[in-house]
Amino acid sequence: MAVGETLFEIPELPLDLRLAAILTLLSSSALRGATPNKTAALQMHLEAAAAAPEVMAEPLREALAGVLAGWLQVQCHPASVAFDHCPASSPGPCLH
């Protein structure tokens, strides 16, 4: 790897694909828990989307910046692993 390069380098993506990746990572984190790799990938996608040169509605850009600010505060334990929690990951009503 080159100096300054990480395992989480994400190639240039069109904004629609980047937003799809963000939704997928958010959903996976909500259903199965955040892990260091998902968190790092989500942070990088959010940073890139918030700074994207494409024209987007200001509320969307503000929402991306706000979500990014929250996820930049998340620090997962290095040993965190995803889990399958049946009620949270299967269709139907969930009890909390």
Q: How far apart are CA 58 and CA 24, in angstroms?
A: 22
d(Cα 72, Cα 64) in Å, to the nearest integer? 12
What's the average model confidence in pLDDT over 65-75?
A: 91
Whose CA is closest to 42, among 26, 66, 62?
Answer: 26
Q: For tokens 């334990």, name the residue.
A: 77
pTM beyond 0.75: the answer is: no
Sequence-ordered list of residues with C-beta below 8 angstroms from that of 61, at least 6 positions apart, any chain: 50
Q: Are 41 and 50 in contact (CB under 8 A)?
A: no
Give the pLDDT score at 10. Answer: 58
Given pLDDT bands bounded at 50, 70 and 90, which one contains residue 96? very low
Provide the pLDDT for residue 5.
47
Between CA 77 and CA 83, with CA 78 as vertex, the angle to 5 degrees is 75
pLDDT surpasses 90 at 42: yes
7-28 average pLDDT score: 85
